[in-house]
Amino acid sequence: MTSAFQTAGNSLAGKLVRTQGVTAPAGFRGAGIAAGIKASGKSDLALVFNEGPDTAAAGVFTRNKVKAAPVLWSQQVLSAGKLRAVVLNSGGANACTGSGGFQDTHRTAEEVATALSNWGTETGAGEVAVCSTGLIGDRLPMDKLLPGVTEVVHELAGGISGGTDAAYAIMTTDTVPKQAAFHHVDKWNVGGMAKGAGMLAPSLATMLSVITTDAVATADQLDTALRNATRLSYDRLDVDGATSTNDTVLLLSSGASGVTPSQEDLNAAVLAVCDDLADQMMADAEGVTKRVRVIVSGAVSEDDALIGARTVARDSLVKTALFGSDPNWGRVLAAIGIAPIELDPDRIAVSFNGSPVCVDGVGAPGAREVDLSGEDIEVTIDLGLGDFTVSIRTTDLSHAYVEENSAYSS
């Protein structure tokens, strides 16, 4: 959790907690229900509602060229820089579903707008973002989803626990809900929730995340804060190199605190929340038995450091070695060696959990005896060429990962 503040490069005055999420900032309500979209009967429909007074918003979406219907819809909606609500469903991605699937998304947004208007807040479908997660390729059961929308709007009447209910409703293979909130000493707040356990990779993970704030900020300021935060947090989480068709991160501001923080403080607070949520996603990734940080330092550019760290973080042989608690540093060298970056094999130094295992490209004494039996492993690779450092979060490659992802249409 300290990393967020280090990365932000300043000392942000406030407190980060994990007991609250999107409803921690003033002006937001949340709800989550079981609408029957999931065959299991578990909670599967969430709503985040912005009571205002402001409705400025920003979004970041998957870079996958195959985009799910809700991504196409929400990108369109966000072009106006305003959001009144976000409706999210698990139990189906509504991806690769053609024009029929897009109509389903549009219909869902209209149903939310109607229900919110009936509930007392005049809302247009163009102010409602839609997020979906689950199996790719199937149409959503609209006969269950649409009645669910009316129900979830009624649930908004609940208190602060509505944010937690929403965090539960967006879970797929996640085993725990992920929430974080940052309370600034100047009495403005940022809250967030996220889901994502597999298909986690750069260009966002298979993740949905909604961040809220009661700070006063324009859509442009929110956009700056959100892009900065995703670049340094979610984009540096790489579990399996896969990038989803549905990745969506939204930032909504209500302005209800009446406080206008500096852009720098807003950036730092949004990053703090996203970074903590990224940490929670790493810890709950599919099949994870080791939480791994791959740090590349001494690179000639930030890009080189990032590409190098990502290449090692994705390497199946490194990841299986870490699963086996095996300090097989040769695989780290082989992995960094294929990264398309500037490097000198004779200057590379590698350490595991701070113990040097390779110096100047050659094994260090005792390298094979380093203890990696714990759950947290830090792999540091110093290229010895420049001043740039990047850290990537990843996991090991375990039997449980294979098991979870080989079950029929998981």
Active site residues: 206
Contact map string, positions 184 to 213, toward its own copies, x by CB under 8 A: --------------xx-x-x----------
Ligand-binding annotation for 189, yes or no, is no
Collapsed DSSP state (helix, strand, coil) of residue 365: coil
Site residues for its own copies, window 123-142 (CB under 8 A)?
135-138
Out of 76, 362, 366, 374, the residue judged to bind its own copies by CB under 8 A = 362
Least distance from its own copies to the Cβ atom of residue 346, Å: 8
Stretch that binds its own copies, among 12-20, 124-132, 173-181, 235-243 (CB under 8 A): 235-243
Looking at beta carbons only, is 3 or 245 nearer to its own copies? 245
Is 360 a binding residue for its own copies by CB under 8 A? The answer is: yes
- Token pair 């994870």 in the structure block, residue: 288
- 405 marked ligand binding residue: yes
Return the C-alpha torsion angle 146, 147, 150, 152, nearest 10: -90
Q: Which is nearer to its own copies, 145 or 367 (CB)?
A: 367
Residues 6+ apart with CB under 8 A from 349: 356, 358, 359, 360, 381, 382, 384
- Residue 210 amino acid letter: V
Distances (CA, A) of 53 to 112, 142, 176, 252, 257: 19, 32, 32, 12, 10
Residue 380 CB coordination number (10 Å): 23
Q: Measure the CA–CA gap between 63 and 244, rounded to whole angstroms.
A: 9
CB of 164 to its own copies, least distance (A): 29
Any known ligand binding at 410?
Answer: yes
Q: Does 76 bind its own copies (CB under 8 A)?
A: no
Phi, psi of 87 (to 5 degrees): -110, 135
119 phi-psi bin (left φ>0, alpha ψ -120 to 50, beta other):
alpha
SS3 40: coil
Beta-bridge partner residues of 295: 380, 391
Task: Please provide residue 357's backbone torsions phi and psi, each rounded to the nearest 5 degrees.
Answer: -115, -15
Applying CB under 8 A, does 256 fall inside the site for its own copies? no
Beta strands in 76-187 (DSSP E): 85-89, 128-132, 178-184
Interface pattern 328-347 for its own copies (x via CB under 8 A): xxxx-xxxxxx----x-xx-
Kindly state the smallest distance separating residue 4's Cβ from its own copies, in Å. 27
Select from 348, 379, 390, 392 the one that contacts its own copies (CB under 8 A): 348
Kindly tell me which of 112 and 313 has the beta carbon lying closer to its own copies. 313
Structure tokens that stand for 166 in this block: 């929403």
Choose, by CB under 8 A, the member of 26, 96, 160, 283 that binds its own copies.
Answer: 96
> Among 1, 10, 53, 66, which residue sits at the site for its own copies (rule: CB under 8 A)?
66
Using CB under 8 A as the binding rule, whether residue 236 contacts its own copies is answered as: no
Site residues for its own copies, window 307-326 (CB under 8 A)? 314-317, 320-321, 323-324, 326
* Location of structure tokens 């500096």: 262
Question: Rg (Cα) of the chain, in Å, rounded?
Answer: 22
Q: Is 374 in the site for its own copies (CB under 8 A)?
A: no
Measured CA to CA, the distance from residue 50 to residue 330 in angstroms comes to 52
CB of 175 to its own copies, least distance (A): 18
Q: What span, in angstroms and rounded, lies between the C-alpha atoms of 95 and 192?
A: 25
Q: Can you tell me which of 367, 370, 385, 390 binds its own copies, judged by CB under 8 A?
A: 367
Collapsing DSSP states into helix, strand and coil, what is residue 141? coil
Vertex 359: Cα angle to 355 and 365 (nearest 5): 60
| Cβ closest to its own copies, residue 183 vs residue 314 | 314
Q: Is 172 annotated as a binding residue?
A: yes
Contact between 64 and its own copies by CB under 8 A: the answer reads yes
**Residue 397 touches its own copies, criterion: CB under 8 A:** yes
> Residue 124 Cβ, how far from its own copies at the closest point, in Å?
28
375 binding its own copies? (CB under 8 A):
no
3-state secondary structure (DSSP) of residue 355:
strand
Residue 286 assigned to a binding site: yes
Element (H, E) at 312: helix 302-314
Binding site for substrate: what residues are annotated?
Answer: 172, 195, 206, 286, 405, 410
Residues of this chain that bind its own copies (CB under 8 A): 63-67, 93, 95-98, 135-138, 198-199, 201, 203, 240-245, 314-317, 320-321, 323-324, 326, 328-331, 333-338, 343, 345-346, 348, 358, 360-363, 367-368, 397-399, 401-403, 405-410
Binding site: what residues are annotated?
Answer: 172, 195, 206, 286, 405, 410
